[in-house]
Amino acid sequence: MLHVASWIVPRRARAEWRKEWEAELACAWQMAHQESSSSRNRGLRSRCCGAFLDAAWYRLNREDLLRTREHWARTPAFVLYALITMLLLLVSGSGYLPRMRSILMAPPYGAPERMVTISRTGVIDSADWVVPYSWVTIWRKQRQVLEGVAAYSAQPQESLVGIGGQRSKIGLVQVETNLLQVFGVKLLLSRAFPLSPASCHNCLVLSYQAWRHDFAADPNILQKKATINGQDATVIGVLPERFWFPTDDVGVLLWGEENSFSADKPVGVVARLRPGVTERQAESNLARSISNSIGEPFSESAIQVWPLQERVRQPLTSYGLALCVSLLVMTTLLWSGRMNLLPQRRGAGAACRWWTFFASKTALLLLILLAAVVEFTPEPYIFPSGRTTLIVESGSLWIFSVGCVFVLWWSLMDQQRRCRACLEKLALPAQIGRSGCLLLSWAGTELVCAQGHGLLHITETDVCWLDPAQWTQLDESWEPLFAGK
């Protein structure tokens, strides 16, 4: 019973606790020698039951808990567990990273490698990326390079959509009726009656996110009365979960009627190339068709055919370049000798453990930053919307770049202030010297390992004859000072 009760006691005090209780039981045994064997055994068992209460008090002792908490907060495991918890909370709070999954996973439509967007190039203002609708009617005849082409309104609008008594303001984009056919996407929910899209007035297709968040994923939503901006409408379908167009902020696609787009109206264009046709071939053919139609020279470099998957994943490429620049800056800082991060005289095993912790901590921080930027910055990730500016479009890139510098700097500073032997955060910072008397003294901060492994000195004022950071390994003569810890 005493052995089982000792498991409750903290490990570092367990042996001493057992010795005290064994001595107490031995004393009780000697004092009860005149009693019968059975009553003596009952008394000893009763005392052993009290050992459980004593062990629980020892475990729940406030000072001991505070000491344990302070010790745990300095360990490398605490940092890793905290970062993993933050990542899990981010995943759960964002709805399991819908944007990240839409970027990394294969899109839910057929042959995505042949899906492209068509826009102007060689322009400064992103509003000029869109093209007049008259060009779309010309490209529709280019069957030798395009399997299908569809237009959509360049500027999403916020509209009041009401379905079955529920109302919500949702982003809306007007699209041509053949858009879903060009994508080759199948609706998650669709009406089962012969209704021609061209004859459907105010026909709505809901995104999966709008259907789930704004209308509680109602399975009978197609049978309910709908309105849009006070006018009667008809919900004809719900898109698959990972399909969003042209941005994830758009929750409603309004199927346009035959005369919805005027010839000079600026529109965005999405198309499907025929098998074997490259983007450069398509650009040349489409530019030639416009030149023949308007009767003026038209350079093929003025048209850009951009693969859809490449455009979807373009932000990740930009983030990767920003991360490489940040890593280059931090690597230069390390090579300059400004920070002392090397675990001295501890062997290959300790060095491997040191750098593994640093790499794991930094990777988790960067992963949290990337997921947060992708999920929570208002950035169009697929198509130019025709109304954004360069500053707005690169906003998330600036946030990620600055975040990378901050994350890497914090990781380096945290690593520098850790013990080279046990990786615990150094404690008891002490200010040394006077910063106003550089010639007579030097200012710095000294930190010590709570386990007695060593001492770190970090100078606050740079001087030519001292390293910015110095780690001093403590020998065995210092062990009595830390024995009571």
Backbone angles phi, psi at 157, to 5 degrees: -120, 145
129 plus 183 within the same structural domain = yes
Selected residue with higher pLDDT from 224 and 311: 224
Mean pLDDT of 301-330: 83
324 plus 407 within the same structural domain = yes
Backbone angles phi, psi at 409, to 5 degrees: -65, -45
According to DSSP, the β-strands at 115-120 and 303-307 are: antiparallel
Q: What percent of the chain clears pLDDT 90, i.e. is strictly above it?
A: 16
Q: Residue 89: inside a domain, yes or no?
A: no
Q: Residue 95: inside a domain, yes or no?
A: no
Q: Do 248 and 381 form a contact (C-beta atoms < 8 A)?
A: yes
Classify each residue of 37-58 as buried b or exposed e, where b means 16 or more C-beta atoms within 10 Å of its C-beta.
eeebeeeeeebbeebeebbeeb
Q: Residue 83: inside a domain, yes or no?
A: no
210 plus 190 within the same structural domain = yes
Q: Residue 103: inside a domain, yes or no?
A: no
Q: Residue 76: inside a domain, yes or no?
A: no
30: helix, coil or strand? helix
191 plus 281 within the same structural domain = yes
What pLDDT shows up at residue 124? 46
173 plus 246 within the same structural domain = yes
Mean pLDDT, the chain, integer = 80
215 plus 326 within the same structural domain = no
CB-based burial label for 18 (10 Å; 0-12, 13-18, 19+): middle
Domain of 8 in residue numbering reads as 2-60
Q: Residue 193: inside a domain, yes or no?
A: yes
117 plus 137 within the same structural domain = yes
pLDDT band at 107 (very low <50, low <70, confident <90, very high): confident
| Residue at which a domain ends, from 371, 396, 416 | 416
Q: Residue 99: inside a domain, yes or no?
A: no
Q: Residue 80: inside a domain, yes or no?
A: no
9 plus 53 within the same structural domain = yes
181 plus 262 within the same structural domain = yes
Reply yes or no on whether the pLDDT at 55 is more than 50. Answer: yes
Least reliable range by pLDDT among 59-63, 189-193, 370-374:
59-63
DSSP code of residue 270? E
302 plus 441 within the same structural domain = no
Highest mean pLDDT among 13-17, 278-282, 462-466: 278-282
Reply yes or no on whether the pLDDT at 449 is more than 80. Answer: yes
306 plus 318 within the same structural domain = no
| Residue at which a domain ends, from 394, 416, 438 | 416
Backbone angles phi, psi at 67, to 5 degrees: -65, -40
pLDDT band at 379 (very low <50, low <70, confident <90, very high): low
**Number of domains, the chain:** 4
Q: Using one digit for the tens of pLDDT, what is the confidence trace for 108-151?
A: 888 888 999 888 876 544 455 778 888 898 999 888 899 999 99
26 plus 56 within the same structural domain = yes
